[in-house]
Amino acid sequence: MTDDSLIPAAQYLRMSTRQQQYSLENQADVIEKYASDHNFAVVKTYSDSARSGLRLKNRDGLKQLLRDVVEGQVSFRAILVYDVSRWGRFQDTDEAAHYEYVCKSSGTPVHYCAEQFANDNSVAGLILKALKRTMASEYSRELSVKVRAGQFRLAKLGYKMGGHTPFGLRRQLIDVNGLPKQLLVYGERKSIVNDRVILVPGPPEEVATLERIFREFADDRKGLTAIANALNEEGILSVTKNKWDACTVTNVLRNPKYLGKQIWGRTTEFLSGPPKRLPEDQWAVCERAFIPIISPELFQRAQARFANFTHNLSDEQLLERLKVLLKRHGRLSSRIIEQSRSGPGLTTYCHRFGGLLNLYRRLGYSSLDLSIQATTRQRGLLIRSALITTLLEAFPGQIQEARKSRRHRPCLRYRRTGLLIAVVLAYRNRNAGSTPCWHIDVPKAERRRTAIVAFLDRGNNAIESLRVFEKLRFSRFVIHSGRTDEWLQSGYPLSNVSEFLQILDQVRAK
Are 99 and 63 part of one and the same domain? yes
What per-residue confidence (pLDDT) applies to 338? 78
Are 338 and 389 part of one and the same domain? no
Query: Cβ neighbours of residue 141 under 8 Å, at least 6 residues apart?
Result: 91, 271
Are 7 and 107 part of one and the same domain? yes
What per-residue confidence (pLDDT) applies to 370? 58
Structural domain ending residue among the three candidates 260, 275, 307: 307
What per-residue confidence (pLDDT) applies to 2? 45
Are 8 and 137 part of one and the same domain? yes
What per-residue confidence (pLDDT) applies to 30? 94
CA–CA–CA angle 65, 78, 117 (5° rounding): 110
Are 335 and 430 part of one and the same domain? no
Residue ranges of the chain with pLDDT lower than 50?
1-2
Domain count, the chain: 4
CA 60/CA 352 separation, integer angstroms? 47
Are 127 and 219 part of one and the same domain? no
Are 184 and 249 part of one and the same domain? yes
Are 245 and 298 part of one and the same domain? yes
We report the CATH number of the domain holding residue 208 as: 3.90.1750.20
Beta bridge partners, 401, equal: 412
Are 474 and 358 part of one and the same domain? no
| 389 inside domain | yes
Q: What is the pLDDT of residues 388-438, one digit of tens each?
A: 999 999 999 899 998 766 667 889 999 988 899 999 999 988 665 567 788
- Report if pTM > 0.75: no
Q: Which domain holds residue 483?
A: 377-509
Are 287 and 351 part of one and the same domain? no
Q: What is the DSSP string of 97-124?
A: HHHHHHHHHTT--EEETTSSS--S--HH
| 406 inside domain | yes
What per-residue confidence (pLDDT) applies to 441? 87
| 227 inside domain | yes
Structural domain ending residue among the three candidates 282, 307, 332: 307
Contact 75, 42 (CB under 8 A): no
What per-residue confidence (pLDDT) applies to 310? 78
Beta carbons within 10 angstroms of residue 258's beta carbon: 28
| 161 inside domain | no
| 452 inside domain | yes
- 411 by Cβ neighbours in 10 Å (0-12 / 13-18 / 19+) ranks as buried
| 154 inside domain | no
Q: What is the pLDDT of residues 128-144, one digit of tens each?
A: 888 888 888 888 888 88
| 150 inside domain | no
CA 43/CA 60 separation, integer angstroms? 19
What per-residue confidence (pLDDT) applies to 348? 80
Contact 472, 441 (CB under 8 A): no
What per-residue confidence (pLDDT) applies to 434? 64
We report the CATH number of the domain holding residue 405 as: 3.40.1350
Are 280 and 196 part of one and the same domain? yes
